[in-house]
Amino acid sequence: MGARETPSLENGYEPRFEAMCGALDSVREHFLYSTEQERAAAHPPWSSAASAAEEAAHAPRAQNAGGGQRYKSAHFESPSAARSPMKRIPLPPVPNGWYKALYSDALEVGDVKPLSILDQEFVAYRGEDGQVRLMDGYCPHLGAHLAHGGKVKGNALICPFHNWTWDGSTGSCLDVPYSEQIPPRARTRTYPTREQNGYVMFWFHSEQAPPTFDIDVIPETADPSYRLYKRVDWQIRSHIQEVYENVVDVAHFRSLHQMDVQSVSWEPVGASDAPTVKLHINLVRESEEQSGADGGTEIESYMYGPGLQVTRLSGKMKGVSVNSLTPLGDEKLEVGHAYYVERSDPASEKEVESFWDYYMDDHALDFNIWNNKRYLENPVLAKGDGDVASFRRWFKQFYPASNATTAEHAAGPVKEHHRHE
């Protein structure tokens, strides 16, 4: 990071990141979910304890509009909505889709890890065949957490409590060591996994339907002419739909980020309800850090369902950011960010660093809004706002059918109010 303030819990969000200079092994421990979750449980950024710190952190904030000084410190206000009996974000907390379970390099053959995501406990392990398997965390026998002391045997997992053996692919029980009969009800829920783009992704569907779409391979994540520059994960108080909606919110690019947007296009890839969306933004900004020679930057982005977004930036800096969005619970979201840059001579390292710094500041501006805003089902929109209504209609497909009414309500009515002057 450069001279700018390092984001911290005190200014409203908690990032963790590491430089990735080819030495992933040395930093692997920083990305283990177990330790991070334990730490987060002790100091959750959305907790009331965190709010006390936030209240104390009312540092003066520079205006970021009108060419003033850029963001200095996230002014973290207590969300008034939190005091209201009405839910701040009345959306189903876990949309159906592919989600990041962990980074691929966080799980070696024979490793077992607990995951506290999607408001549930999971266990992930890598079998001797190299495949990662994901199951419900609690053993159906007497409820031990399979990740706390469980052992991999072949491609199965042995519970630490009474040593029942579970098949993480099918969910069936393979062995009860002290009984000749395996109870017919001895089954656990497993989740399809897919390892690509540096992640172990898993498919979650509220009604246990099989995957209905795929995520593309992102070539840059395995291209030797690119390198993983940094990874960072944040935990914020928000919801995936709110974070995604940001990209169709054309007006905020100027008001919040000081970007002069020339054009924005947003469309599902294929049918209007296709789960992948392509976004294209042309903008001009005055930052030296990112603008090309003509001051322009192009952003091309794909959203693969609710859990993964890939953004390619061109301009001064050519890079690809692979962003994961994983619900942790109600109004708790993990936003992960892996940034790949073209390999280049070491002289440009400073430029990459300065761009990253700038890019992180842009995120901090959004986090400050998302952590505190309320989701409005019926916002008052003006001409010049983005196509929020179409976006919400598209996103609705990921909500569980049992929440269809809520999602329908959440998706509209959105009215655009044109000002007549």
> What stretches of 206-348 show up as alpha helix (H) in DSSP?
240-245, 250-255
Please say which residue, 27 or 186, places its beta carbon nearer to ligand FES: 186
Terminal-to-terminal C-alpha distance of the chain: 46
- Alpha-carbon Rg for the chain in angstroms: 22
> Per CB under 6 A, does 182 bind ligand FES?
no
> Per CB under 6 A, does 20 bind ligand FES?
no
CA distance 164 to 146: 10
Q: How many residues does the chain have?
A: 421
Q: How far is the CB of 238 from Fe ion (least distance, A)?
A: 12
Please say which residue, 165 or 323, places its beta carbon nearer to ligand FES: 165
Q: How far is the CB of 143 from ligand FES (least distance, A)?
A: 6
Q: How far is the CB of 288 from Fe ion (least distance, A)?
A: 20
Positions in 259-298 near ligand FES (CB under 6 A): none
The binder of ligand FES chosen from 75, 162, 312, 318 (CB under 6 A): 162
Residue that the structure tokens 């850090």 belong to: 289
Query: What residues contact residue 171 under an 8 Å CB cut-off, 6+ apart?
Result: 135, 187, 188, 189, 190
Positions in 366-385 near Fe ion (CB under 5 A): 366
The binder of Fe ion chosen from 8, 64, 246, 291 (CB under 5 A): 246
Q: How far is the CB of 390 from ligand FES (least distance, A)?
A: 48
C-alpha dihedral over 148, 153, 156, 157, to 10 degrees?
A: -10
Spatial contact of 114 and 37, defined as CB atoms under 8 Å apart = yes
What is the three-class DSSP state of 387? coil
> Per CB under 6 A, does 141 bind ligand FES?
yes
Backbone angles phi, psi at 316, to 5 degrees: -65, -40
What is the three-class DSSP state of 247? helix
Question: CA angle at residue 241 from 373 to 245, to 5 degrees?
Answer: 75
> Per CB under 5 A, does 64 bind Fe ion?
no
The binder of ligand FES chosen from 76, 164, 355, 356 (CB under 6 A): 164
CA distance 102 to 189: 19
Q: How far is the CB of 359 from Fe ion (least distance, A)?
A: 11
**Residues near ligand FES (CB under 6 A), total:** 9
> Per CB under 5 A, does 131 bind Fe ion?
no
The item of ligand FES, Fe ion, none sharing an interface with residue 246, based on CB under 5 to 8 Å by kind, is: Fe ion
CA distance 7 to 12: 8
Spatial contact of 190 and 135, defined as CB atoms under 8 Å apart = yes
The item of Fe ion, ligand FES, none sharing an interface with residue 366, based on CB under 5 to 8 Å by kind, is: Fe ion
The binder of ligand FES chosen from 152, 156, 159, 388 (CB under 6 A): 159
CA distance 302 to 268: 9
Please say which residue, 331 or 362, places its beta carbon nearer to Fe ion: 362
> Per CB under 6 A, does 144 bind ligand FES?
yes
The item of ligand FES, Fe ion, none sharing an interface with residue 183, based on CB under 5 to 8 Å by kind, is: none
Please say which residue, 289 or 366, places its beta carbon nearer to Fe ion: 366
Binding site for Fe ion (CB under 5 A): 246, 366
Binding site for ligand FES (CB under 6 A): 139, 141-144, 159, 161-162, 164
